Structure formats: C-alpha cells, structure tokens
C-alpha cells in the first residue's frame, strides 16, 4: 500500500524530466545560472514576457522544443513573505500537474531563501515531495497511476546540494512512515476494526524487531482496565491494548495513541453529518505506529514503548451509559456524563500502564476534542504539558519538521471542573474549554511522570476536503515532529 514518489537531487546541467517547475520571487529574475543554456534561455524568455511579475501563484509555461521538456515558471510572491506553508503549497502542486499534463517525471528548481537552505529545510522539502506520490487507492478498481508523479528531481540553491543529498537518508524513511500511518488511518471501519489494527501492529513488530504484547478482553478485565472495556462494550469486535517495545539503550520514551477505530458517539450519538470521518478517530494510534516504524528504520538510540488502546465506540444493549461509574487501571473512578467523551477513557488505561512500566517521557496523541478544532482550526495541533522544557523542545521540533503545534494551558481550575459528584472524576465537563478540561482529565493518569505531553490532533489528523494541494484523508500528523524531537533528545 505505502507508496511515495522517488525523490533525487539532480544536477541542473544534465536534467532529465518531463516538466521543470522554476520558483521565482516577485520583482526578481529567476535564479537559473546553473541550468543548461537552452533551458536557461527558455526560462529567461518566460520571465521577460509582458505581465510577468512573479506574484504568488502566477504561472507561465513554454516548451524547450518539439517533444522536449516543458518549463513552468511559478511565482512565489515577495521574498520577505515566503513561509514554509506557502512553499509547501507550491510543492504540493505536483500531483495536480501530473494529472493535468501527464508528466510523470518532474523537477523543482528552488530559489535561494531561508526556507530552502540548510539541513532542516532540505528534509522538509524532500519529505514533502516524496509524499506528493501518496494515494490511498486500495479500493479503486482502476488505480489512477497517471495522477501521481513517478519521479521528482529537486535542484537545490547553489551550495546546498550536499545538504539535500544528506537529507534523503532521513526524509525518505520518514515519508514512508507517514504514508504507512495514512494507509492505516484511511482504511475503512468495516475492515480496520480493533482486531485488524492488532494484526497490523503484530506485522510491524515482526518486520521491524519490536516485541509485541496484546491484552485481550479477558486480560483487560483481569487487570481492571475499565475505561477501555466500557468504551468497547457494544462492539462485536472486543477491545484490546497493544504494546510494542524496542531498543536496549538511551532514554526511555513512551508513545501512546488513541485507537477508536470508529466513533459513533455511543448512546450520546453524534449527528449523522460527516460521521463517516469518524474512522479517523484512530489517527493517534496510526501516528504512534508510524513513528515506531520510523524510529526503527532510522535506528534511533532510545528505549521505546508504544501503547495502542483499540476499541469501537458503538451502541447496543451492552453500551456503557451516561451515569455509569467506571474504575480505570490506576484505581481512579470516573462518572460517565457523555459516552462521546470516550477517547480519554481508553487513554486513561493505556497511560497508566505506560507509567507502571516506567518511562522518562510520555507523549500521547489523540483526536480528542472538537473544542481544539474550534480553538485552532485545521492549522495546528494543541499541546498540553506541565513541563516547560518539554514544551519548548516539542515546539522547536514541530517548527523544524514543518508541522504546527500550539501550547494551551493546564490551569488547576480545569481539573476542578472534571471532579465527579459520585466518583473521583467525570469524563466531560461540558462545552467550555473542552480541550483544556480533557487534558486535565488525562493528567490524572500520568502518576509521578512530570515529563509528559498530550497532543490534541483533532484538527490536523485528517482533511475533510482537498486543501492547499493536499488531498482529502489522513495526514500522518505528528510523526515528523516526534522524530525531530527524538533526534534532538539523543543528539
């Protein structure tokens, strides 16, 4: 399933491509000195046309000759206003260009800029270009191969060739891991139930050398993992909790990912509109499995434990109910006020197990609240942690990877709102500050681990529609940030 475009760093003087895309800043001449003379002349003629300004999204095309390479001069806007988001939007045009022109071999000529210079930029760019080849097309009878680029050459700014060549060793395995995560998250709920996700985790363990432990329904009950059992009680596929461990040296890191394979909301049922997107409620689990794959492929020196709680939140006569009181793995009791606040219930048991196993740092990923989407939209994930150093490190890693992360508060008052009337906690405090009260709830399951963080990825884990050149579906959010953070940690 997992397919990415082949990305290479190309010598400009002997370029082999069907289509060359040249980035040019507004009011500036294109930077084409390194190109072969005929190609350079064609680009300069385009730039000399009346009306060419290099404005953002302005484009002009020509051919080098009959049957020869097509050249597309693309405006990037004012140099001072270029951001990674704008540059990525241009790079993401590759699939649409392939679809419209039939060109399968593309090349991008990058102008010199802070966003195209250095190892971090090189990794962002080459990973993004590789992922332009991704499609989830397992269920298409005729996979639209002509709509994806087959090979993409990147021509870095002068002097950056080494940085881009070195970047491929990290960016391509990382792109493969993101594509793997997207495949899992995009898989439909009639296939990707808890049993199927367990199988995928076992396969990953066998392929990459992870030790895999699975707690089935009976073992969950024996251990008193009432949160996971309650959420999965109405499904014909029982819940389970999967742990993967890897590595013998370095810092101890636990990654926990929410794996609700389909979320109907339970008795507190969701509206019908867009309920099909609730197959993406397993995106946190998919991200930590993708991160595990990347960590193994890059051989990062960490002692890694990955925890994947898996359940379907459905409804029948066995459903857990508003008013129920559930006991979680660490002994805390939770009064159920909303069965659609289910993610925190399965995470409670998984996080408590991770703490019991022992870890230096715990990072948890979940499509946890609509409130976080209201706060941040689809542009950033919410970050909650009491540890300022961990917050700064994760924010720096997100900036390095090109993902967006925004820190939100964990005030004591949010926890007060989560206190139950007849139990230690309740699982929902209502509408206001919902992302923050949910994070406060999770804080009760980390024991003495201070270095922990909750990433609410609800707004960025998937796209409901094509956006800025990116295709509808799962994004694999969080994997690049996690790898950037771990590389900093073990440097």
Catalytic residues: 270, 344
Q: How far is CA 12 from CA 9, 31, 43, 237, 291, in A?
A: 9, 12, 13, 55, 34
Helix (H) or strand (E) holding 327, with range, is: strand 325-327
SS3 content of the chain, % helix, strand, coil (to 5): 40, 20, 40
CA dist list (Å): 378 to 271, 325, 403: 20, 34, 12
Tell me the C-alpha distance between 37 and 43, whole Å.
10
Residue listed under structure tokens 């991770």 = 354
Alpha helices in 112-153 (DSSP H): 119-131
Provide the token pair at 43: 């680009």
What does the angle CA 442 – CA 258 – CA 185 come to, to the nearest 5 degrees?
A: 155
Closest alpha carbon to 4 in 123, 150, 104, 147: 150
* Cα→Cα distances 137→132, 164, 274, 461, Å: 14, 30, 21, 19
Beta bridge partners of 241: 215, 309
The secondary structure of residue 189, as a DSSP letter, is T
Task: Give the phi and the psi of residue 181 in degrees, each rounded to 5.
Answer: -60, -40
Q: How far is it, in rounded angstroms, from Cα 96 to Cα 178? A: 20
**Per-residue DSSP letter, 419:** B
Q: Which residues of 115-142 are buried (b: 16+ CB within 10 A; e: fewer)?
A: bbbebbbbbbbbbbbbbbbbbbbeeeee
């Amino acid at each position: 399933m997992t397919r990415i475009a082949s990305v290479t760093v190309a010598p400009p003087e002997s370029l082999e491509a069907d289509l060359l895309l040249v980035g040019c800043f507004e009011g500036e001449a294109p930077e084409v000195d390194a190109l072969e003379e005929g190609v350079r002349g064609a680009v300069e003629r385009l730039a000399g046309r009346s009306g060419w300004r290099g404005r953002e999204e302005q484009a002009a095309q020509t051919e080098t000759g009959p049957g020869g390479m097509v050249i597309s001069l693309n405006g990037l806007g004012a140099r001072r206003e270029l951001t990674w988001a704008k540059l990525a939007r241009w790079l993401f045009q590759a699939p649409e260009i392939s679809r419209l022109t039939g060109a399968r071999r593309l090349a991008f000529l990058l102008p010199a800029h802070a966003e195209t210079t250095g190892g971090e930029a090189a990794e962002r760019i080459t990973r993004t270009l590789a992922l332009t080849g991704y499609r989830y097309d397992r269920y298409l009878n005729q996979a639209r191969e002509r709509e994806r680029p087959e090979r993409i050459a990147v021509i870095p700014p002068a002097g950056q060739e080494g940085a881009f060549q070195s970047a491929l060793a990290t960016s391509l395995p990382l792109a493969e891991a993101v594509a793997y995560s997207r495949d899992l998250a995009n898989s439909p709920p009639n296939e990707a139930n808890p049993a199927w996700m367990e199988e995928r985790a076992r396969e990953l363990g066998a392929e990459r050398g992870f030790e895999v432990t699975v707690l089935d329904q009976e073992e969950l009950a024996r251990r008193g993992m009432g949160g996971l059992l309650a959420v999965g009680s109405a499904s014909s596929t029982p819940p389970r909790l999967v742990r993967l461990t890897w590595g013998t040296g370095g810092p101890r890191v636990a990654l926990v990912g929410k794996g609700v394979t389909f979320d109907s909301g339970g008795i507190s049922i969701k509206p019908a509109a867009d309920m099909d997107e609730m197959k993406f409620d397993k995106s946190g689990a998919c991200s930590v499995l993708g991160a595990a794959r990347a960590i193994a492929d890059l051989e990062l020196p960490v002692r890694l434990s990955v925890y994947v709680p898996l359940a379907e939140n459905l409804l029948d006569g066995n459903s857990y109910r508003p008013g129920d009181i559930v006991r979680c793995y660490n002994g805390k009791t939770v009064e159920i006020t909303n069965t659609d606040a289910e993610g925190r219930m399965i995470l409670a048991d998984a996080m408590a197990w991770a703490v019991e196993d022992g870890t230096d740092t715990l990072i948890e990923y979940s499509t946890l609240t609509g409130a976080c989407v209201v706060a941040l939209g689809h542009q950033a994930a919410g970050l909650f942690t009491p540890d300022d150093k961990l917050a700064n490190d994760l924010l720096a890693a997100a900036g390095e990877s090109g993902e967006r992360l925004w820190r939100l508060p964990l005030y004591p008052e949010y926890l007060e709102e989560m206190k139950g009337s007849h139990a230690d906690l309740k699982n929902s405090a209502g509408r206001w500050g919902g992302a923050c009260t949910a994070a406060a709830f999770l804080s009760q399951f980390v024991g003495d681990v201070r270095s922990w963080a909750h990433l609410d990825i609800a707004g960025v884990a998937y796209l409901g529609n094509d956006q800025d050149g990116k295709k509808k579906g799962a994004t694999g959010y969080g994997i690049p940030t996690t790898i950037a953070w771990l590389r900093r940690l073990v440097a």
